[in-house]
């Protein structure tokens, strides 16, 4: 009998869950092969080579499976007892069909970068946070969250300090080739990245600074017509690398300079750091820029010595306190956008990694439906996610979460039925990984303290 649309989607989910569970079974069988010394009996030595030859796998796939066995499979100690897997949360989630092999590889890679000085309990909590995020989103979102977690777990850069980064910095220009081109390579410091990213967010976006398009807007144009930018973007056939090149060329033109960068999404093109009063007083740790990068707080303070600070106050849920408009206006004010950057750090749709510099201000209750331009009704959404919010089939919805929620006051996104049949509002945790880890660590330490007091 023919299936309905809902039945097709439901079957797809069941098949994907079974596929993920089979991947976990395959890993357990590979671990059993290692326990039984099958690679040695076959005369190939390594598990990866045994898997490649036995299952006709590619070298990379076989190596990835063998590496996964080392951290995801339970081990047998010399006394015959079983030791749990190094990444028990990850192994369990895949066995339940919640995450895929791609999720697993991403988590293994992130966990492998955590410094050895981090204790086992904190490592386990960090892993649980990554698994929690993986269950809710695709594997492509994990590296961004992982960078935030690593920055929190290694705030002073024990493995790579400011001095180390300063020593590694450099940009090299190769000799000019016969075709006139010159290769360029190097590493830039977080400080240069923090200064360069806001400029590129405007100048390297599709349609901007295109030398092949006489009507392409330039970064110095203060009053950019959104329709002109959109029309130029539709004509733009450049790659991301080509747009970055052309933006740098525009930056170095004699008639341009930092004072001529104009505005991007309502704010001057400049570096924006977010830090708490405690971080400011301690002058330690890391802070996140509006473009999604991280930089040590001492280095950020050096860059901000001549800046005018902007103070934002938040409630216990991390949302800005009321910041409204005395006069009705559809467009958010620069102050409101600054508060949203500090609170949300990027697009608020679950799974999206776009930083604040790539996001527009979105009304949770649309302006056309009576929604006010007040901070309680505003959120950040990148252009592609913003376009997903509509009342038609497949449209997303946005709501302010109520006091009964785990994250009251934050903006929840309701996915269409083919993604989430339950219609449960979800928040984006990717930009808030360190805060999630801090809360998890605090809960764990409070529980330990209660246990000690009860003894």
Distance CA 348, CA 355 (A): 10
Mean pLDDT, to the nearest integer, of 42-64? 88
Instruction: Count CA atoms closer than 13 A to 256's CA, side-chain side.
Output: 17
The answer on 105 and 236 residing in a single domain is no
The answer on 32 and 119 residing in a single domain is yes
Residue 29 confidence (pLDDT): 92
Closest-CA residue to 304 (of 272, 257, 326, 259):
272
Domain for residue 431, yes or no?
no
Domain region containing 55: 14-153
Facing residues of 126 across strands? none
Distance CA 305, CA 450 (A): 44
Question: What is the share, in percent, of the chain residues with pLDDT greater than 70?
Answer: 72
The answer on 242 and 141 residing in a single domain is no
Domain for residue 346, yes or no?
no
Instruction: Count CA atoms closer than 13 A to 25's CA, side-chain side.
Output: 7
Which residue among 153, 173, 206 closes a domain?
Answer: 153
Which residue among 214, 232, 267 closes a domain?
Answer: 267
**Domain total for the chain?**
2
The answer on 149 and 193 residing in a single domain is no
The answer on 35 and 146 residing in a single domain is yes
The answer on 215 and 135 residing in a single domain is no
pLDDT in tens, 360-407: 888 888 877 777 777 778 888 888 888 888 888 888 999 988 888 877
Distance CA 402, CA 412 (A): 10
Residue 81 confidence (pLDDT): 67
**Higher local confidence (pLDDT), 441 or 160:** 441
Considering 37-51, 198-212, 351-365, 426-440, the range whose residues carry the highest mean pLDDT is 37-51
Domain for residue 331, yes or no?
no
pLDDT in tens, 103-129: 998 998 888 888 777 788 888 888 888
Domain for residue 233, yes or no?
yes
Distance CA 140, CA 280 (A): 32
The alpha carbon of residue 35 and the mean position of all alpha carbons in its chain are separated, in whole angstroms, by 38
The answer on 37 and 149 residing in a single domain is yes
pLDDT in tens, 216-254: 887 655 566 778 888 888 899 999 899 988 888 887 765
The answer on 125 and 57 residing in a single domain is yes
Q: Which long-range contacts (CB under 8 A, 24 or more apart) does 269-274 make?
A: 269/198, 269/199, 269/201, 269/202, 269/219, 270/198, 271/194, 271/195, 271/197, 271/198, 271/303, 272/198, 272/338, 272/341, 272/356, 273/194, 273/300, 273/303, 273/304, 274/341, 274/342, 274/345
Residue 18 confidence (pLDDT): 92
Lowest pLDDT segment from 156-165, 275-284, 288-297, 435-444: 156-165
The answer on 193 and 105 residing in a single domain is no
Domain for residue 64, yes or no?
yes
Distance CA 95, CA 256 (A): 57
**Higher local confidence (pLDDT), 343 or 312:** 343
Domain for residue 421, yes or no?
no
pLDDT in tens, 122-170: 888 888 888 988 888 888 888 888 877 777 776 655 445 666 667 778 8
Which residue among 127, 153, 179 closes a domain?
Answer: 153
Tokens of 268: 């001057």
Distance CA 168, CA 163 (A): 9
Domain for residue 413, yes or no?
no
The answer on 196 and 139 residing in a single domain is no
Domain for residue 197, yes or no?
yes
Distance CA 63, CA 373 (A): 53
The answer on 205 and 144 residing in a single domain is no
Distance CA 363, CA 450 (A): 43
The answer on 137 and 37 residing in a single domain is yes
């Amino acid at each position: 009998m023919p299936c309905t649309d809902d039945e097709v989607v439901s079957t797809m989910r069941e098949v994907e869950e079974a596929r993920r569970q089979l991947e976990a079974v395959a890993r357990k069988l590979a671990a059993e092969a290692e326990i039984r010394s099958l690679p040695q009996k076959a005369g190939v030595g390594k598990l990866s080579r045994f898997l490649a030859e036995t299952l006709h796998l590619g070298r990379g796939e076989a190596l990835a499976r063998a590496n996964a066995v080392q951290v995801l499979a339970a081990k047998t100690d010399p006394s015959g007892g079983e030791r749990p897997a190094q990444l028990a949360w990850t192994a369990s989630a895949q066995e339940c069909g919640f995450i895929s092999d791609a999720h697993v590889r991403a988590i293994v890679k992130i966990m492998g970068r955590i410094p050895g000085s981090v204790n086992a309990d904190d490592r386990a909590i960090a892993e649980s946070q990554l698994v929690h995020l993986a269950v809710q989103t695709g594997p492509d979102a994990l590296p961004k969250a992982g960078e935030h977690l690593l920055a929190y777990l290694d705030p002073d850069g024990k493995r790579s300090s400011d001095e180390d980064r300063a020593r590694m910095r450099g940009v090299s220009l190769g000799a000019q080739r016969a075709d006139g081109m010159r290769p360029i390579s190097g590493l830039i410091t977080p400080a240069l990245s923090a200064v360069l990213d806001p400029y590129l967010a405007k100048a390297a976006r599709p349609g901007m600074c295109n030398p092949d398009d006489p009507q392409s807007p330039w970064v110095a144009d203060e009053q950019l017509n959104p329709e002109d930018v959109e029309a130029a973007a539709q004509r733009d056939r450049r790659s991301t690398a080509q747009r970055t090149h052309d933006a740098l060329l525009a930056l170095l033109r004699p008639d341009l300079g930092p004072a001529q960068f104009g505005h991007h999404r309502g704010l001057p093109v400049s570096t924006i750091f977010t830090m708490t009063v405690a971080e400011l007083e301690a002058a330690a740790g890391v802070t996140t820029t509006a473009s999604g990068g991280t930089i040590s707080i001492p280095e950020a303070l050096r860059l901000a010595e001549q800046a005018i600070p902007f103070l934002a106050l938040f409630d216990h849920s991390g949302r800005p306190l009321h910041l409204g408009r005395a006069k009705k206006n559809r467009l958010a004010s620069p102050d409101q956008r600054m508060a949203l950057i500090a609170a949300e750090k990027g697009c608020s749709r679950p799974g999206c990694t776009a930083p604040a510099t790539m996001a527009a201000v979105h009304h949770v209750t649309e302006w056309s439906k009576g929604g006010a331009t007040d901070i309680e009704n505003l959120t950040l959404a990148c252009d592609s996610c913003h376009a997903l919010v509509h009342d038609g089939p497949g449209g997303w919805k946005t709501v302010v979460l109520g006091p009964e929620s785990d994250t009251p006051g934050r903006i929840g996104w309701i996915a269409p039925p083919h993604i989430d049949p339950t219609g449960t509002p979800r928040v984006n945790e990717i930009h808030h990984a360190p805060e999630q880890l801090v809360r998890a660590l605090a809960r764990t330490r409070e529980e330990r303290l209660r246990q000690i007091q009860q003894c």
